[in-house]
């Protein structure tokens, strides 16, 4: 027999481990840095990279026209994130290196510092321990597209680029009112941020280049350069309206920089649908499977197929099904485990319904390594469930299913021959509902990230809500505190 024709079984623990520990993300970062730095000893380089453990530190660039609040936002960010704040001026006044001395020589001759030299100075500073361990916030640089591209050549690629924006007339008014403390370098404003201390007021001086004409020239230069800069950072920048109260601006900036860049890691959905009888689990599973090409795994269908195929386990569970008794959990789990471990489930993902029904079954499923990454509880009132099930009947001739309220039989003769499934009798439905409620609370505690869905509405509305929760990342859990997005 050709071994390649058999259904291959893939250990479920592999996908769960890779997802929990972000293995793909780690490998992606390692390869990116390897290709940028191109070290002579790649193995030792990768070992050193893992020891640094700094893939998630902030790497932020704050840009904006004059008087847009770059300085204030950068200060608030580095304090909030405990990162290193850098400005072009600070880079030239920090510990002197050969590169800084070269730049100061240009400055002493009143010449422009070459862009390539700026990029090397920044790369040298960002390679120091405080930046690699705590991350960095770079303020007001790059100023041109050429500088942005040279930073990338040096392997400097921010995760977030904050672009502050405001009308020119507002920026000119702000700039004219600027005052600076020559001792500390703190910036104040005669209208918006004037200090109360009279002695400090007397110390403040008017900075150079804040007249209306000079501000207008700087704004014109900024508007000419910013489109090219942003093209160098596609999908990494966000424009934020700076013409609003400072803390409102900072709130939006902080929300943006705390957001994770979209991961390229493959996401394999493992969806569990749980709900009372009549909640529409089968329909929602079918809709998800059709749209996203994931495997629809119905516990009841798996058992029926095993019996129909006369497999060894199918022969074991056949007496239970014939007598309408509950199949032992160990037999159900073996069949489900085999189905969920097949290649299609491991590569495409799966949506499971009909199992587990209580916390004991959930624990067995988890011990077997089949851990869902989305758990939905489809909620409907008991009277709605009874109405949905007890009023449905089947035409024995055509096999069509009808409902007295939602889909009545089209003709009288069809209505007269309709038959009800004994399991849909009101008393039996109520008994199944009681069993559901007995295990629902413990199951919700077992699966901590349960998403409740109001299933008492149009099924396609329910599907859209489930779909939005499947494609949206779940919040990361911080063991030291509440979940943070």
**The predicted structure's pLDDT at residue 222:** 94
Q: Are residues 119 and 249 in the same domain?
A: yes
Q: Are residues 253 and 278 in the same domain?
A: no
Domain that holds residue 235: 55-258
Mean pLDDT of 131-152: 92
| Angle (deg, nearest 10), helices 246-258 and 70-81 | 50
**The predicted structure's pLDDT at residue 263:** 64
Q: Are residues 99 and 231 in the same domain?
A: yes
Whether 124 is in a domain gets the answer yes
Whether 24 is in a domain gets the answer no
Domain boundary, last residue among 258, 283, 301 = 258
Cα gap 409→400, rounded to integer Å = 9
Residue matched to tokens 């009800």: 420
Whether 306 is in a domain gets the answer yes
Q: Are residues 253 and 284 in the same domain?
A: no
**The predicted structure's pLDDT at residue 256:** 93
Q: Are residues 237 and 303 in the same domain?
A: no
**The predicted structure's pLDDT at residue 138:** 95
Domain count, the chain: 2
Confirm if 410 and 416 have CB atoms less than 8 A apart: no
Whether 22 is in a domain gets the answer no
Tally the C-alpha atoms within 13 A of residue 376's C-alpha that lie toward its C-beta. 29
Q: Are residues 219 and 124 in the same domain?
A: yes
Question: Does 10 sit behind a cis peptide bond, omega within 30 degrees of 0 on the bond before it?
Answer: no
Paired residues of 271 in beta bridges: 351, 374
Whether 26 is in a domain gets the answer no
Question: In 3-state terms, what secondary structure has residue 281?
Answer: helix
Is the pLDDT assigned to residue 1 strictly greater than 50? Answer: no
Whether 67 is in a domain gets the answer yes
Cα gap 296→121, rounded to integer Å = 56
Cα gap 371→196, rounded to integer Å = 60
Confirm if 354 and 285 have CB atoms less than 8 A apart: no
Whether 27 is in a domain gets the answer no
Is the pLDDT assigned to residue 34 strictly greater than 70? Answer: yes
Lowest mean pLDDT among 17-21, 324-328, 372-376: 17-21
Mean pLDDT of 64-91: 90
Whether 219 is in a domain gets the answer yes
Q: Are residues 368 and 400 in the same domain?
A: yes
DSSP state string for 44-75 = HHHHHHHHH--TTS-EEEEE-STTSSHHHHHH
Cα gap 278→282, rounded to integer Å = 9
The bridge status of strand 450-454 relative to strand 374-379 is: parallel
- Rounded to the nearest 5 degrees, what angle is found at the Cα of 102, between the Cα atoms of 100 and 104? 70
Q: Are residues 75 and 189 in the same domain?
A: yes
Share of the chain above pLDDT 70, in %: 93
**The predicted structure's pLDDT at residue 237:** 93
What's 176's domain CATH number? Answer: 3.40.50.300
In sequence order, which residues have a C-beta less than 8 Å from that of residue 14 and are 6 or more positions away? none
Q: Are residues 314 and 196 in the same domain?
A: no
Q: Are residues 216 and 288 in the same domain?
A: no
> Among the ranges 189-198, 346-355, 409-418, which has the highest mean pLDDT value?
346-355
Q: Measured in whole angstroms, how far is the alpha carbon of residue 481 from the centre of its chain?
A: 19
Domain boundary, last residue among 226, 258, 290 = 258
Residue matched to tokens 């007496």: 319
Domain boundary, last residue among 258, 285, 303 = 258
Q: Are residues 338 and 240 in the same domain?
A: no
Is the pLDDT assigned to residue 483 strictly greater than 50? Answer: no
Mean pLDDT of 344-372: 90
- Is the backbone of residue 357 left (phi > 0), alpha (psi -120 to 50) or beta? alpha
The bridge status of strand 160-165 relative to strand 237-241 is: parallel
Quote the strand ranges of 112-265, DSSP E.
136-139, 160-165, 178-180, 187-189, 237-241
Q: Among 237, 221, 254, 233, which residue's Cα sits nearest to residue 143?
A: 221
Confirm if 56 and 133 have CB atoms less than 8 A apart: no
Q: Are residues 274 and 242 in the same domain?
A: no
* 3-state percent helix, strand, coil for the chain, nearest multiple of 5: 50, 15, 35
Please state, rounded to an integer, the average pLDDT across all residues of the chain. 85
Which band of pLDDT confidence, cut at 50, 70 and 90, is reported for residue 136?
very high
């Amino acid at each position: 027999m050709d071994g390649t024709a058999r259904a291959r079984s893939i250990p479920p623990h592999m996908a769960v481990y890779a997802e929990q520990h972000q293995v793909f993300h780690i490998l992606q970062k390692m390869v990116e840095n390897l290709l940028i730095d191109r070290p002579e000893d790649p193995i030792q380089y990768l070992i050193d990279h893992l020891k640094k453990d700094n893939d998630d530190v902030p790497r932020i660039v704050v840009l904006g026209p004059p008087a847009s609040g770059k300085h204030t936002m950068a200060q608030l960010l580095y304090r909030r994130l405990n990162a290193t704040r850098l400005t072009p001026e600070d880079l030239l006044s920090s510990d002197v290196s050969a590169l800084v001395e070269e730049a100061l020589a240009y400055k002493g001759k009143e010449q422009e510092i070459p862009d390539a030299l700026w990029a090397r100075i920044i790369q040298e500073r960002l390679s120091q321990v405080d930046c690699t361990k705590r991350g960095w916030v770079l303020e007001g640089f790059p100023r041109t597209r050429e500088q942005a591209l040279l930073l990338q050549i040096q392997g400097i690629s921010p995760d977030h680029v904050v672009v502050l924006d405001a009308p020119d007339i507002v920026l000119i008014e702000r700039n004219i009112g600027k005052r600076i403390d020559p001792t500390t370098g703190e910036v104040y404003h005669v209208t918006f941020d004037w200090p109360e201390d009279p002695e400090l007021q007397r110390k403040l001086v008017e900075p150079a280049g804040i007249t209306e004409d000079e501000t207008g020239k700087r704004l014109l230069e900024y508007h000419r350069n910013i489109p090219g800069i942003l093209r160098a950072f596609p999908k990494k920048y966000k424009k934020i309206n700076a013409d609003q109260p400072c803390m409102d601006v900072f709130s939006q900036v902080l929300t943006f920089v705390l957001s994770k860049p979209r991961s390229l890691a493959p996401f394999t959905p493992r969806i569990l649908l749980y709900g009372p009888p009549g909640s529409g689990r089968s329909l929602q599973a079918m809709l998800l499977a059709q749209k996203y090409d994931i495997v629809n795994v119905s516990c009841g269908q798996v058992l029926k197929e095993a019996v129909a195929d006369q497999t060894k386990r199918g022969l074991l569970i056949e007496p239970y099904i014939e007598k309408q008794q509950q199949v032992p959990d160990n037999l159900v789990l073996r069949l489900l485990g085999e189905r969920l471990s097949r290649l299609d489930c491991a590569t495409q993902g799966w949506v499971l319904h009909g199992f587990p029904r209580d916390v004991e079954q959930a624990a067995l499923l988890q011990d077997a390594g089949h851990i869902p990454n989305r758990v939905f509880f489809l909620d409907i009132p008991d009277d709605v469930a009874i109405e949905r099930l007890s009023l449905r009947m089947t035409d024995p001739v055509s096999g069509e299913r009808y409902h007295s309220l939602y889909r009545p039989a089209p003709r009288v003769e069809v209505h007269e021959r309709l038959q009800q499934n004994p399991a849909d009798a009101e008393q039996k439905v109520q008994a199944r509902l009681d069993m559901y409620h007995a295990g629902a609370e413990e199951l919700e505690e077992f699966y901590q990230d349960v998403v409740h869905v109001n299933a008492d509405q149009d099924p396609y509305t329910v599907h859209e809500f489930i779909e939005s929760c499947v494609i949206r990342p779940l919040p990361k859990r911080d063991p030291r505190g509440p979940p943070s997005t």
